[in-house]
Amino acid sequence: MSMILGVPLAVLSGQLLLGVINGAFYALLSLGLAVIFGLLKIINFAHGAMYMLGAMATVILFDTLGVNYWVALFVAPVLVGCLGMAIEYFLLRRIGGQDHIYSLLLTFGVALMIQGILTNIYGVSGLRYSMPDVFKGGMNLGFMFLPYYRAWVIVMALLVCFGTWFMIEKTKLGAYLRAGTEDSQLLQGFGINVPLLVSLTYGFGVMLAAFAGVLAAPIYSVTPGMGSHILIVVFAVVVIGGMGSIAGAIITGILMGVVEGLTKTFYPQASSAVIFLVMVVVLLIRPSGLFGKEA
Partner 1 sequence: MSQAPQKEYEQLRVSGLHAFYGESHILHGIDLVVNRGELVTLLGRNGAGRSTTLKAIMNMVGRRTGSIMINGEETMSCPPHHIARLGVGYCPEHRGIFSELNVQENLTLPPVVRSGGMALEEIYNMFPNLYERRLSMGTKLSGGEQQMLAMARILRTGANMLLLDEITEGLAPVIVEKLAEVLIKLKEKGLTIILVEQNFHFAAPLADRHYVMEHGLIAEEISAGELEAKQAMLNNYLGV
Which residues are near partner 1 by CB under 8 A?
172, 175-176, 178-179, 181-183, 185-195
Closest approach, Cβ 205 to partner 1, in A, equals 18
Least separation in angstroms between residue 167's CB and partner 1 is 14
In the complex with partner 1, which residue's Cβ is closer, 2 or 185?
Answer: 185
Q: Which three-class secondary structure state does DSSP give residue 22?
A: helix
- Least Å from the CB of residue 116 to partner 1: 37
d(CA 217, CA 127) in angstroms, rounded, equals 9
Q: Are strands 145-147 and 138-140 parallel, antiparallel or unpaired?
A: antiparallel
Cβ atoms of residues 285 and 278 within 8 Å: no
| Contact partners, residue 147, CB within 8 Å, separation at least 6 | 135, 137, 138
Centre a 10 Å sphere on the Cβ of residue 100 and count the other Cβ atoms it contains: 13
- What is 163-228 written as a DSSP string? HHHHHHHHSHHHHHHHHHHHHHHHHHHTT--HHHHHHHHHHHHHHHHHHHHHHHTTTS-B-TTHHH
* Shorter beta-carbon distance to partner 1: residue 30 or 184: 184
Smallest separation, CB 106 to partner 1 (Å): 23
Residue 135: CB minimum distance to partner 1, A? 39
Q: Which of 35, 27, 28 lies closest to 208, judged by CA?
A: 28
Counts for the chain of helices (H) and strands (E), in that order: 10, 4
**Residue with smaller CB distance to partner 1, 63 or 169:** 169
Let me know: does 51 contact 29? Beta carbons within 8 Å.
yes
Residue 55 or 246 with smaller CB distance to partner 1: 246
The nearer residue to partner 1, 136 or 170, going by C-beta atoms, is 170
Closest to partner 1 by CB, 193 or 272 = 193
| Closest distance to partner 1 from the beta carbon of 7 (Å) | 43
